[in-house]
Amino acid sequence: MKTVDFSRLPLATGDIVLDLGCGEGRHVISAYVEANVHSVGVDLSLDDLKTTRQRFADFAEPDNTDKSFGLSSASALNLPFADDTFDKIICSEVLEHIPDYRGALREIERVLKPGGLFCASVPRRWPEKICWALSEGYYQVPGGHLRIFRSNELRKEIEFLGFKHYYRHWAHALHVPFWWLKCLFWKSQDTSWLLQQYHRLLVWDLMENPALTRILEKSMNPIMGKSVVMYFRKEAVS
């Protein structure tokens, strides 16, 4: 389940791509599959990196020397890369978890090449506020969400660092009711019939990718997409 639209973050042969906060690998693997690029995933969680490595095994192309895949455990506040290393950077559903998210944004600006592209996604404000209202457990779990962003304010903060915003969309509207149900039944998630049935629907949708739900979600995303996805270009130094 990709949040980033690679038609809006186009990958060129030879690009070096960073997925910051790659989790279990959905975007770092997708970037590798999408084009002949050097795809790098960074996360603090060794367990998530192990899962990513295992999932990547099904997509590896060891005979293709035009692409590569790498993973690293590192802090978003101290990335182990030189200035101006990456052509494209993805940071999807990560900034809301980082206490010093502004420090992470400064690191992104540092390691992205001038003219490079950056995609950031965060939870949309109004569906997220309902989750917080339904359950304190949702945001009080270790490593949980620390804040609810106003997307326009976040966009201005990123622009202040020398980025130019060029596109925005929303994603994953069908997942919003699932998270509301999950929060509503926070203490009985394992036994909630309604939550289990909705989860089955989402798994079916992911595996089968039917036209009906694709059309439905596309029409719903502008209204209640769970994620707001923003695209930026780092302006070249004149």
> pLDDT of 13-61, one tens digit each?
999 999 999 999 999 999 999 999 999 999 999 999 999 999 999 999 9
Instruction: Decide which of 137 and 153 is more confident.
Output: 153
Q: Please compute the mean of the pLDDT values over residues 90-104 and round it to a whole number.
A: 97
Q: Please compute the mean of the pLDDT values over residues 127-132 and round it to a whole number.
A: 97
pLDDT at position 143, please?
Answer: 86
| Cβ proximity of 120 and 154 under 8 Å | yes
Q: Per-residue confidence at 238, pLDDT binned at 50, 70, 90?
A: low
Task: Report the C-alpha gap between 9 and 88 in whole angstroms.
Answer: 8
Query: Which tens digits make up the pLDDT trace of 150-191?
Result: 999 999 999 999 999 999 999 999 999 999 999 999 999 999
For residue 237, pLDDT beyond 80: no
Superfamily of domain 16-124+142-172+225-234: Vaccinia Virus protein VP39 (3.40.50.150)
Task: Report the C-alpha gap between 199 and 181 in whole angstroms.
Answer: 10
* AA identity, residue 51: T
pLDDT at position 236, please?
Answer: 80
pLDDT at position 102, please?
Answer: 98
Q: Per-residue confidence at 224, pLDDT binned at 50, 70, 90?
A: very high
pTM of the predicted model, to two decimals? 0.94
Task: Report the C-alpha gap between 25 and 1 in whole angstroms.
Answer: 10
pLDDT at position 1, please?
Answer: 78
**Which uninterrupted H or E stretch holds 218?**
helix 211-224
Query: Which tens digits make up the pLDDT trace of 52-96?
Result: 999 999 999 999 999 999 999 999 999 999 999 999 999 999 999
For residue 194, pLDDT beyond 80: yes
